[in-house]
Amino acid sequence: MQRHGFELRRFETPDQRLDMKERGGISILQMVDSTGMHATFEPVGGRRKAASGLSGKLPNAAHSERVELILFASPKHAH
């Protein structure tokens, strides 16, 4: 039987950092069986550009506010 442990990582020391200058950035952590991302998007002229390259207005959001997301890819399962 395989035991699953607990892995603790902090975004202050990421494995990779995507710098989007004044628009924000993405910190990426490579973990044993997953990948974690902390994305920060800064307001720029009332429009925001997502990491996917799609841009548009954010519904019901003040354009002067920063948006932060923390995302994790699900672990790979052995079938």
Higher pLDDT, 49 or 13: 13
Please spell the DSSP secondary structure of 16-29, one letter per residue: EEEE-GGGEEEEEE
Q: What residues have CB less than 8 Å from 28, skipping those under 6 apart?
A: 14, 15, 16, 17, 18, 35, 36, 37
User: Quick one: pLDDT at residue 33?
Assistant: 82
Q: What residues have CB less than 8 Å from 73, skipping those under 6 apart?
A: 34, 35, 36
Confidence of residue 7 (pLDDT cuts 50, 70, 90): confident
pTM of structure: 0.62
Could you state, in order of their start, the residue ranges of all structural domains in the chain?
Answer: 16-49+59-72
- The model's pLDDT over 29-73, given as tens digits with 9 standing for 90+, comes to 998 888 999 999 988 764 545 545 555 555 545 557 889 999 998
pLDDT of 28 above 90 = yes
Backbone angles phi, psi at 12, to 5 degrees: -65, -25
